[in-house]
Structure 1
């Protein structure tokens, strides 16, 4: 009966036997047979049809209304039973930009493996543009990025906020100064990430907001190298609070108190626009949405 109802609802929604057959990956005669079986079961005709259209009659309207409810309940029942009887398993490919991937994601993966040890995650680290391309081409299941996503084919959901601060070495002369402005750092060497990075995008956004143009910049492709360079006194940088947490505790880096800061940006979950997801993906996304999961440092 469930298959008969599914075929019937699809025919009504598509308003055509051929389109319904295509959607269901069935032949048109098979679709017609299921409709005839359903009409025999309920004891009356349900559809008015000709060569141009398929429409519900009064009896069909009643069956259609309840069929959608029945199918919805049946699907929910199967999902609940599946959750009880099947352990989540399988591959899960995750892409993340550097900040989230290197400093936040390992903690969430640890929670995932603790609760669902048969899920096998693989992680790809890249800048926002690279992760967007991988999700877009279906090479990974999902991505977490902090930069702007340009593709209209992807589903984007904000999942966390990131606070970014200007950092300097522990011996920098501005450490104890209050009410600094960004202009005070005009003569500093700014150490920034490469183009395409979400951190670089946030840095340039800050420059634009304060109409600030540094006289000297160095571009590095690694956040770790930037931290080491700032610690060595080579310059200043704008980095996430997640990235600099340990160095602040060890007093190797310091945050400057700049008016108008910190910069606040969003981390976003990026998935293909299709509504279908593996069970492993669904479980991981639930962990991402659990805000307690970001209280990790």
Structure 2
């Protein structure tokens, strides 16, 4: 049996053409099939929709009223299908990305440029926050993908590492003169330490690693951004734990100096993550491919 939606599509076509035979031709149906479909619709609604004459058909008052509503509904459905096609073809849409300021500046920007050049009609919405906040937004649907510091201990998230990063300790000129040989982590903790705030995933990684060695850590300063770590260390307020790959401008220009350790901190990574149980939108999928270098 023909579906109710299909019945209404036939109904609209008959109304436009004012003829069963013309509607049948437009819909690639037989004239008897169109006639039978309209009888079915009238029976289901228990009302006559058409006046049938040898010259064709015309609406009854009830049929004309129904036509106005059904035509609007069909047009909305067709518009929705067109919009879906546009999203699939990436000719429109919005991509919501969660990322921290430091990763945005030192990692994400070139990929945004590449993606925008390929798909200029996709709009960006960039949401800033910590890794923990990004994970929460992913689960609530506030963002499509997040660019985060790994590791993330959350089995509901798909995680794709993209860049290896290394945590190092740096200092300004005054401390450099004191530190002429490699230091142990235990010795490092005797200096005034400058670290990110506790809710940062980077801070948690460093703190967990140092404590795994049986060493307690009590920072002198806890700051909200990586750039502030660099600036505080530059003016000799203490020794800062920073991401080497995001600090090269300071290191290369001699504004800060890397402190050699007797034991290097294991590398970690920056990458893209998204909900494992929810399919990515076409725009999100293409964005992940750009970051992966595909």
* TM exceeding 0.5: yes
1:286 aligned residue: 289
TM-score (norm 1): 0.63
TM-superposition CA deviations, 1:139-190 (whole Å, max 9, x none): 1001121144344433223333211211111332357623322233233111
Partner-residue secondary structure (3-state), 1:136: helix
Residue 184 to residue 174, structure 1, CA distance change in 2 (3 Å): farther
Shift of 1:215: 5.1
What is the rounded CA distance, in whole Å, between the counterparts of 1:184 and 1:265 in structure 2? 23
Shift of 1:216: 4.5
2:96 aligned residue: 93
1:71 aligned residue: none
What is the rounded CA distance, in whole Å, between the counterparts of 1:152 and 1:187 in structure 2? 37
What is the rounded CA distance, in whole Å, between the counterparts of 2:167 and 2:190 in structure 1? 21
Q: What do you get for the CA RMSD once the two structures are aligned? A: 2.5
Q: Which one has the largest radius of gyration?
A: 2
Structure 1, unmatched stretches of 5+, are: 1-81, 292-297
Residue 246 to residue 175, structure 1, CA distance change in 2 (3 Å): farther
- Answer with 167-176 or 139-148: which moved more: 167-176
2:224 aligned residue: 221
- Aligned: 1:142 with 2:145: yes
Q: How many residues align?
A: 209
2:277 aligned residue: 274
What is the rounded CA distance, in whole Å, between the counterparts of 2:122 and 2:147 in structure 1? 18
1:253 to 249, 253, 256: 256
What is the rounded CA distance, in whole Å, between the counterparts of 2:123 and 2:190 in structure 1? 48
TM-score (norm 2): 0.64
Q: Is the 8 A contact 2:145 2:273 kept in 1?
A: yes
The correspondence of residues 83-232 of structure 1 with structure 2, limited to 5 A, is 86-173=89-176, 177-214=180-217, 216-232=219-235
- Answer with 99-108 or 130-139: which moved more: 99-108
Partner-residue secondary structure (3-state), 1:146: strand
What is the rounded CA distance, in whole Å, between the counterparts of 2:219 and 2:156 in structure 1? 38
1:235 to 219, 238, 248: 238
What is the rounded CA distance, in whole Å, between the counterparts of 2:181 and 2:234 in structure 1? 21
2:60 aligned residue: none
Partner-residue secondary structure (3-state), 2:186: helix
Structure 2, unmatched stretches of 5+, are: 1-84
